Amino acid sequence: MNLTLQRLLTDSKKINLFFWIITSTGLMVYKLSFHELWKDEWQAWLVARDLSLSNMLAFINYEGHPSLWYLYLKVWTILPIQEYILLQLSHGVLVAVTLYYLFVRISLPTLWKILISLSYFIVFEYGVINRGYILVILLSIIALDLIVRNKRSWILGLTLLLLCQTEAYGVIIAAAITVYLFLNSEGKNLILFRKTILWSLTGLFLFVFTVFPRGNEDDFTRAYNQQSFSINVIHESIQGHLANVFTIGLIDDTASNGVSLFGFMISILLFSILVWIFIRDWRVLLSMIFGLLAFIIFGILIFSGGVRQWGMVYLLFVLMLILSHYKKSKWSLYRYILVITLMIAPMIHGIKALITDAQIPFSNAQEVGRFIKENIPDNVPVVVINKFETAPVGAYAGRSLYELPSGEEFTYFKWLEKVYIPTESEISLFARFKNVGGIVLLSPSPIDPKRFPNAVLWQEFSNENFKRENYWLYSIPLTK
């Protein structure tokens, strides 16, 4: 067998170190060179920047995410560097550390590591896009590194607690790891498990305490599943968490195009393959099934999600590979090939996503922000329709925007706020209040000329972009 191929099929330290340096450096350069931030990325940064620590912690139940990502960003916001660069750097550091654990600390065949690092979920959805999901990956891999090195101390417990402060999906991953520890708890390990589960339960309590909705019940119900329990909802969750993960790009996106018989059959086949891969270690198999079922049930009952959320199943798959492989049990060639087969489609889709993001903007928000900064004086208010869609424009413009009817400045938004569309008379009244001759109106869609008869389209920003975030800028003169 060729020496290079042999090293790829084993765990080659030199090749691992080389690929860690290449992928970490390459991703950081790529992010800073090609990736524009969109609203989901800016939102956490703006909340961390503009709210005090106490107010931020009180606010995050509106976000639907625990506090760890916001606390991490809070530290970075004090640095005197351009914000869009800081956000990319803060996330890029976590990506580099995650890839270090994957390539250098964890024992897997080098070829697997390369395919995992180039998968759509690792390289793009969690590697390029600056969201807190990277903390789920990092902390879960750290937890497994502690387990395989037999360091089941308070550090492991603390890691699982922190994992529960990342995302709801982090809680499920922590639960799957805890199940694995329970299944391996015998003798001295049973005492260690009892200590570990106390940390996990504390993490779960903190998660519920920080994220549990405390606002208007009617508003919060709009954030979660409103579909009645049905076979179709179950089908969507199964297909999303299986077919849209391991054959991503080969079948239609379930969130956009719905379910199909083909997608369901592929999902059942994929589940069978996963069972066959892990069947030799029943502890790993049961942990994997527990985690997968938890994701599917969460998608049915709480939040259906999309590719970003479904990608957590890919992480679960990688974690189970680590647990199954570190025992040095013999793997047949067929199992190796099956694992590689499950990694091919995510890798191809990841490379396509990188190419697309380099070719077209991820969002048009940066272009609009630059236009506002260059053409609209600071004393001229920019009023928006839909804070949710327009907040990233203000971040790129380096200024606050205005909302009506309150007339207040804002930088971030509450996810559950309803969109208010002002009348032209309200805008004129606001212009008089601000003592200006007119108002600039920013909208994520063309406005109704009947509602705004004096509005003049100034600039349209609807060039092709990854997230289809388009904007229209209007000038509305003060009417008598």
Mean pLDDT of 196-212: 85
Q: Are 119 and 317 in contact (CB under 8 A)?
A: no
What is residue 479's predicted lDDT score, i.e. its pLDDT? 67
What is residue 2's predicted lDDT score, i.e. its pLDDT? 47
Q: Are 479 and 468 in contact (CB under 8 A)?
A: no
What is residue 61's predicted lDDT score, i.e. its pLDDT? 82
Decide: residue 415, CB within 10 A, 0-12 exposed, 13-18 middle, 19+ buried: middle
* pLDDT at position 260 over 80: yes
- What band does 278 get if pLDDT is binned at 50, 70 and 90? very high
What is residue 54's predicted lDDT score, i.e. its pLDDT? 92
- What band does 190 get if pLDDT is binned at 50, 70 and 90? low
Q: How far is CA 111 from the centre of its chain?
A: 25
- What band does 152 get if pLDDT is binned at 50, 70 and 90? low
What is residue 3's predicted lDDT score, i.e. its pLDDT? 45
- What band does 153 get if pLDDT is binned at 50, 70 and 90? confident
Model confidence pLDDT, tens digit, residues 138-151: 999 999 999 988 76
Alpha carbons 156 and 203: distance in angstroms, whole number: 12
Alpha carbons 16 and 459: distance in angstroms, whole number: 49
Residue 148 makes CB contacts below 8 A (sequence gap 6+) with 106, 107, 322, 323, 326
> Who has greater pLDDT, 198 or 139?
139
Residue 279 makes CB contacts below 8 A (sequence gap 6+) with 285
* pLDDT at position 222 over 60: no
* pLDDT at position 38 over 60: yes
What is residue 64's predicted lDDT score, i.e. its pLDDT? 82
| pTM of the predicted model over 0.85 | yes
What is residue 218's predicted lDDT score, i.e. its pLDDT? 52
Least confident of 23-37, 80-94, 198-212, 374-388: 198-212
What is residue 328's predicted lDDT score, i.e. its pLDDT? 61
The terminus-to-terminus CA distance of the chain in angstroms comes to 85
- What band does 348 get if pLDDT is binned at 50, 70 and 90? very high
Q: Mean pLDDT of all residues in the chain?
A: 89
* pLDDT at position 414 over 70: yes
Q: Write out the two tokens for 292.
A: 């997968």
Mean pLDDT of 178-192: 74
What is residue 443's predicted lDDT score, i.e. its pLDDT? 95
Mean pLDDT of 317-321: 97
* pLDDT at position 345 over 90: yes
Decide: residue 378, CB within 10 A, 0-12 exposed, 13-18 middle, 19+ buried: exposed
Q: What is the 3-state secondary structure (H, E, C) of 135-196?
A: HHHHHHHHHHHHHHCCCCCHHHHHHHHHHCCCCHHHHHHHHHHHHHHHHCCCCHHHHHHHHH
- What band does 416 get if pLDDT is binned at 50, 70 and 90? confident
Model confidence pLDDT, tens digit, residues 422-474: 888 899 899 888 888 888 999 999 999 999 999 999 999 999 999 889 999 99
List the one residue out of 290, 279, 334, 347 whose CA is nearest residue 313.
Answer: 290
Relative to beta strand 438-443, strand 382-384 is parallel
Least confident of 202-216, 217-231, 360-374: 217-231
* pLDDT at position 369 over 90: yes
Task: Report which listed range, 11-20, 227-236, 338-347, is most confident.
Answer: 338-347
Residue 413 makes CB contacts below 8 A (sequence gap 6+) with 43, 387, 388, 391
What is residue 224's predicted lDDT score, i.e. its pLDDT? 52
- What band does 188 get if pLDDT is binned at 50, 70 and 90? low
- What band does 358 get if pLDDT is binned at 50, 70 and 90? very high
What is residue 189's predicted lDDT score, i.e. its pLDDT? 58
Least confident of 187-191, 251-255, 357-361, 455-459: 187-191
Residue 420 makes CB contacts below 8 A (sequence gap 6+) with 403, 404, 405
* pLDDT at position 421 over 50: yes
List the one residue out of 116, 111, 72 whose CA is nearest residue 94.
Answer: 72
Q: Are 134 and 176 in contact (CB under 8 A)?
A: no
